[in-house]
Amino acid sequence: MSVIRVTKEFRFEMAHVLNNYDGPCRNVHGHSYILYVTVAGTPVNDPQSSSYGMVIDFGELKQVVRNEIIEKYDHAIVVSGEMPEEKLRSYISLFENLIVAPYQPTCENLVSDFAALISARLPQSVTLYSLKLYETATAYAEWYASDNKTDDNERG
């Protein structure tokens, strides 16, 4: 059977702050993110299976992404844990849904983090092929499994 790629689109709102940045993104600001998740696999070839003919049920993929990304990041503010402690404390006191990331929350670092979170939750028969995270209508970052193969990620 052929390996097939399937993609699902997700949308969420999120704010972030870029620590030590020399432009306007050093201030709290938000984006309407669009995340494209592409997985690859062989369609199920068992006529008795409810997933017959599918690489993955879109509902199952939706649940993985919802649990790992959307429910955590939608309407959250993401800041770097590397920012000065006084500033970090003020954000913690001001914002209810604050995520302190162990990295600078750029589009590039977010898409890499999202790849790890999603990959860990996919069924064994399916691999994460790529992610595309739009931060604005004209700017995005991409992650491809083929660019990120390691001993721990041989499936991807």
| Domains in the chain with CATH codes | 4-149 (3.30.479.10)
Range list of H helices, the chain: 58-65, 71-73, 85-94, 107-119
Q: Give the model's pLDDT for residue 36.
A: 98
Which of 37, 42, 43, 45 shows the shortest CA–CA distance to 61? 37
Confidence at residue 156, expressed as pLDDT on a 0 to 100 scale: 41
Q: Where does the pLDDT of residue 128 fall: very low under 50, low under 70, confident under 90, or very high at 90 and above?
A: very high
Q: Is the pLDDT of residue 155 over 50?
A: no
Which of 56-70, 79-93, 138-152 comes out lowest in average pLDDT? 138-152
Structure confidence at residue 149 (pLDDT): 83
pLDDT for 152? 54
pLDDT at position 84 over 90: yes
User: Could you tell me if 130 and 136 are in contact, meaning their C-beta atoms sit under 8 angstroms apart?
Assistant: no
Q: Hey, what are 85's tokens? A: 């402690």
Q: What distance in Å separates the CA atoms of residue 153 and residue 156, rounded to the nearest whole number?
A: 6
Q: Are strands 139-144 and 98-101 parallel, antiparallel or unpaired?
A: unpaired
Does residue 57 or residue 149 have the better pLDDT? 57
Type of residue found at 121: R
Q: What is the DSSP letter of 141?
A: E
For CA atoms 19, 21, 25, 26, the dihedral sign is positive
Q: What is the pLDDT of residues 94-127, one digit of tens each?
A: 999 999 999 999 999 999 999 999 999 999 999 9
